Amino acid sequence: MTSRDRVVRALKRQEADRVPTFEWAIDRKVCRALTGSEDILKAIEMLDVDGIVVRADYSKQRIDAENYLDEWGCRRKVSCESIDVIVESPILDIRQHANYRFPDPHAPHRLASLEKAVGSLGRSKAIVFNLRDVFSDIRDLVGYENALIALLTEQQAYAQLLERVIEYNLTLARIARERFDVNIVATTDDIADSRGLIFSPQLYFSFLAPRMAQVIRGYKDLGYSCIKHCDGNVKDVLGHWIDIGVDCIDPIDPGGGMDIAEVKKQYGSRVCLKGNINCQTTLVSGSEQEVTAEVKRCIEQAGAGGGLILSSSNTIHSGVKPQNYRAMLAALHRYGVYKGSS
């Protein structure tokens, strides 16, 4: 069974030969420590990871050694992590969003990384295209504080800009589907912290939920399986995401008080779960034995009957001990084999 088949079966809540695994990102230093190379495509092969997450490509205009403008007009500061930090957003007033021009989704370089990944791994590994849904693109375009304020005071302008955002993401999804036959999309919009949603559930369900259903329906209509990522406590919206067609939820955040055994019991017949080895504690400061025990426990709690993709509780970031990630993968191969598989 190929890695790609393994992930597809998990998304359908079916058992494969073993539980699959992939990460949103694997830090360059961790890659180098484990494989001798920072090439993520080589690392996926060498570490026997079952999939790779790929984003669209946007050009950079260097400002100085630490800062650059991306193609969206966001000023970013270089970070040691996989995503650089936005320090200035391009839309100063959301009411003037019509004056802002989105990057061309059809630009020749837009899907270069996706093309490379498909060409290198596409026959054997799951290729996951990372897009957005209803908050993070607007957060980036107008700034975090302004986006939250606009949800309360400028809903008409927010809705108009969001329609443009949704259409842009669906256009990218359509191009990727037609050109490369990619069929898994992941939306990585964080709308919660450890206490719950960053805005009231009432605001979410009255304003954002219908548009969330719209974008997920758009991905599904294009033939994608949909993975929804959000850190934190998402108990208020978990059922809604499943109702609108999300195929997989990531992560079941232990730092947000989420319990994967409880979620598996309540929703496991309806949705695949991705996670849930703690990358705040266990993978950072735990022993290899503690990592192994957590992997074993996660598989016991959420692997039965399929529908589990084992991963960290967010990413293999720069603080993760390389030996702990290796221990996680070794434990998966030891404890994640389904009975009856050859």
Q: What CATH number is given to the structural domain containing 228?
A: 3.20.20.210
pLDDT tens readout for residues 269-300: 999 999 999 999 999 999 999 999 999 999 99
Which tens digit of pLDDT belongs to each residue from 142-192? 999 999 999 999 999 999 999 999 999 999 999 999 999 999 999 999 999
Query: Could you tell me if residue 214 is inside a domain?
Result: yes
Question: Does 122 have pLDDT greater than 90?
Answer: no
For the segment 26-51, what is each residue's pLDDT rounded down to a tens digit?
Answer: 999 999 999 999 999 999 999 999 99
* Domain contains 342: no
Percent of the chain with pLDDT over 70: 99
User: Helix, strand, or coil here: 192?
Assistant: strand
> Is 341 inside a domain boundary?
no
Q: Is the per-residue pLDDT at 268 higher than 80?
A: yes
pLDDT at residue 327 in the model:
98
Give the pLDDT confidence score for residue 341 in this predicted structure. 65
Is it the case that residue 342 has pLDDT exceeding 80? no
Question: Is it the case that residue 264 has pLDDT exceeding 60?
Answer: yes
Please list the residues that pair with 277 across neighbouring strands. 312
Asked whether residue 312 is domain-assigned, the answer is: yes
Cite the DSSP H helix spans in the chain: 3-11, 28-35, 40-46, 112-121, 136-142, 144-153, 155-180, 201-203, 209-221, 235-243, 260-267, 282-285, 288-302, 322-335
What is the share, in percent, of the chain residues with pLDDT greater than 90? 97
**Mean of pLDDT values over 119-129:** 95
Distance of CA 183 to the CA centre of its chain: 15
Question: Tell me, what's the pLDDT at 179?
Answer: 97
Query: For the chain, what is the domain count?
Result: 1
- Banded pLDDT at 134 (limits 50, 70, 90): very high
Bridge partner residues of 69 (DSSP)? 61, 75
Is 96 inside any structural domain? yes
Question: How far, in Å, CA of 276 to CA of 45, rounded?
Answer: 22
- Supply the range of the domain harboring residue 24: 3-335
The per-residue pLDDT for 340 is 75
pLDDT, mean of residues 119-144: 97
